[in-house]
Amino acid sequence: MAKLDVQKARDLLQGFDFGKLFVAELGWSQPTNRQSTSFDCIGDKFQRKQIAQLSGVVVLEVTSSDGKIPGGQDARSN
């Protein structure tokens, strides 16, 4: 296994490029299902999609329709 390029990993994290971080830098596999799925939570709409997988573990990226992150109180209420 190749040595982790810490600076490149940091840049990908700061750029929110999690798919490239997991697959290109950490050596995870491409997801088997690349389709986005919509769901509602706490009255807001979200999209989730697989961005990487490894040994049955799947990494999901979840985005909101308005681009905002729910506040702590919203997360606790569900």
Mind giving me the DSSP string for 38-60?
A: EEEETTEEEEEEEEEEETTEEEE
How high is the mean pLDDT of the chain?
88
Three-state SS at 11: helix
How far is it between the farthest Cα atoms of the chain?
A: 44
pLDDT at residue 74, as a whole number: 56
pLDDT at residue 71 greater than cutoff 80: no
pLDDT at residue 69, as a whole number: 76
Single-letter amino acid, residue 8: K
pLDDT at residue 37, as a whole number: 93
pLDDT at residue 75 greater than cutoff 90: no
Band the pLDDT of 1: cuts 50, 70, 90: low
pLDDT at residue 68, as a whole number: 78
Residue found under tokens 């986005």:
36
